[in-house]
Amino acid sequence: MSDSKTTQYTSSQANLWPLDPTVAMLNHGSFGACPTVVLQAQQRYRLQMEREPVRFFTREREPLLDAARDALGKFLGADPADLVFVRNATEGVNSVLRSLDFDREDELLVTDHAYNACRNVIEYVAQRNNAKVVVIKIPMPIRSPDEAVKAVLGAVTEKSRILLIDHITSSTALVLPIGRIVNALAERGIDTLVDGAHAPGMVPVDLNDIGAAYYAGNCHKWMCCPKGAGFLHIRRDRQDSIHPTIISHGYNTVRPERGRLHEEFDWAGTHDPTPWLCLPDAIQFLDSLHDDGLAGLRRQNHDLAISARRLLCDAVGAAPPCPEAMLGSMAAVALWLDELAEKDALLNHPVHRRLVEEFAIDVPVYYWPDTPHLWIRISAQAYNSLDQYRRLADALRLLRP
């Protein structure tokens, strides 16, 4: 397909993002894509910061952070007092797990669908405390959310202390029944730490309704903020024990009007806070993309992901691995057994490289749960079109062994 490098991958809304029009970017889920209007807002905040840095950091920064936190609280159904800013969900997971004390007999629960970075955190903390990591196997293929709930509850023992679980899994794109799981574990006296990296912006999130002890999320993925915007929600009765990963001035600052939690997390030393400040602009942008606002955009992206999954399943001869109701704006499809290939890092598999180099399509191809099981994961955002997924399906037919 010699013309692949010159093909224009455009949609009715592609001009709202500074995307390369010659590449079909079908991987919004990994790093997001920041719209032009939000980048412009960030540049305004950066100019405000650099024109008078002392004024900005000592007098203007906190009111701007509070305004962004208020907007985020409304978006997530949460009291802003229970929200702190972090750079990403992995940092939030670190803040929680590295703040807690565990004993030799304690069991830390995690699923086999967990994001590798967060799985590493729980392994590190368990090793440091001589605790035990229990890996819960959630079926894949999976027939219903009930199977996920059953798998989690089947792993619980009297030694279980905390569960780390994805709201939406990264490798398999499953939307897990997080509220049911949180409530079921709470009844057994077990806290839940939710890795919500993909959820905000993709699916409705009401943190007060979910009720998890801890919920870490990203704003740079489906909320389309600049990179470096994340949050951690800490339930009021768990806040005394949690500290940021960087201990700084806030550790011994006493300002009751701001509260210890915001004092510690808001100031970890001099850094660029503008990704967080862009939250109101990003929320407004997302709401403008569909006549029915964000709810309409979610439906549109979900429907596109479902249609794209059907194309890919047909192209590679795979059965859908989960019900459509367990998907948001991403979908994962098993490709084929790849017994001869060595295990490569994510985005470095030969099939991925060929899709990029020969077809100008950027989409993650990876092993899960390990070799030789090869998977592909698609994302659907407003700048994507069904024609892009048709082109991907045609390319996979050609690459299929």
CATH 3.90.1150.10 domain position(s) in the chain: 14-26+291-399
What is the predicted pLDDT for the residue at 2? Answer: 37
CATH architecture under which domain 14-26+291-399 falls:
Alpha-Beta Complex (3.90)
pLDDT tops 90 at residue 155: yes
- Of the candidates 317, 302, 297, 311, the one whose C-alpha atom is nearest the C-alpha of residue 361 is 311
Give me the mean pLDDT over the 95-113 stretch: 97
Which token pair is 52?
């008078």
Read off the pLDDT of residues 319-357 as tens digits, 9 standing for 90 and up: 999 999 999 999 999 999 887 666 555 567 889 999 999
Read off the pLDDT of residues 31-50 as tens digits, 9 standing for 90 and up: 999 999 999 999 999 999 99
What is the predicted pLDDT for the residue at 255? Answer: 84
What is the predicted pLDDT for the residue at 266? Answer: 95
pTM: 0.95
Say which amino acid occupies 382.
Answer: A
CA distances from 389 to 183, 190, 205 (A): 38, 42, 28
CATH 3.40.640.10 domain position(s) in the chain: 40-283
Total Cβ atoms within 10 A of residue 204: 14
Give me the mean pLDDT over the 366-395 stretch: 95
Looking at per-residue pLDDT, the higher value among 14 and 379 belongs to: 379
- 40-283 belongs to CATH 3.40.50.261: no
